Amino acid sequence: MKVLLLEDDAELAPEVVAGLRRNGFVVDHVTTCADTDLQVAVTHYDCLVLDRRVPDGDALDWLAAARADGLRVPALMLTARAEVGDRVDGFERGADDYLVKPFAFPELVVRVRALAQRTPGARPRLLTAGGLTLDVPRHRVTLDGVLLTLTAKEFAVLEVLMEHAGEVVTRAELVERCWDEMSEPSSNVVDVLMGQLRRRLGVPGLIETVRGVGYRLGTDGDQDGDRDGAGTR
């Protein structure tokens, strides 16, 4: 799940980014409404986390305008304003949820994950492929009933592969979905992570390399190891 955080507090922002990433989210961070507008225009997000007051204005004003232009991504507002009137105004102008500062971080994680599941065309909460089962909200993976221990990044990559089981997922698509904006798509970061994930799964041929294109998660009867995809040479 990919999240955009709008927060200009130099102390709070790194803590929120790090905490969300520890819980399996891919996070981009901006500090102004203008940068939020740019990021939303070029990147798909499952949820927006917006600090109400930022240097170039009120994030709620930005959200109301974005909603008028058709933005449907769920948005959670972070604010120091606890009054009922402020919250009602926020909901009426496009916010999907509110969290008052200071907040308990586990609550933020639960609220963001719940909102991300509302995204139009949101991915299923439970993914299965062969003997693999991935429980998105509980952040759990089992293989033939055995619980696996994966890092947050491994979980994110496996989630994308399982969403498209039997189909080729390009390296560019994996970078877009599973790494933040600071990642370098031309590096071997995807190949290294894929090697780690294969070792975690321990099933030869479960993740197939389609040379020159990307990767494919095999389904039952389709786990014959790495091979060249048709027409990829």
How high is the pLDDT of residue 224?
43
Strand residues in the chain grouped as ranges (E): 2-6, 26-30, 47-51, 53-54, 57-58, 75-79, 97-100, 126-129, 132-135, 140-143, 146-148, 168-170, 207-210, 214-217
How high is the pLDDT of residue 178?
83
Give the residue ranges of the chain where pLDDT is below 50: 221-233
How high is the pLDDT of residue 228?
40
pLDDT digits (tens, 9 = 90+) for 27-59: 999 999 999 999 999 888 999 999 999 999 999
How high is the pLDDT of residue 123?
55
- In the chain the domains, ranked by start, together with CATH numbers, are 2-116 (3.40.50.2300), 126-217 (1.10.10.10)
How high is the pLDDT of residue 51?
94
pLDDT digits (tens, 9 = 90+) for 164-173: 888 999 888 8
How high is the pLDDT of residue 221?
44
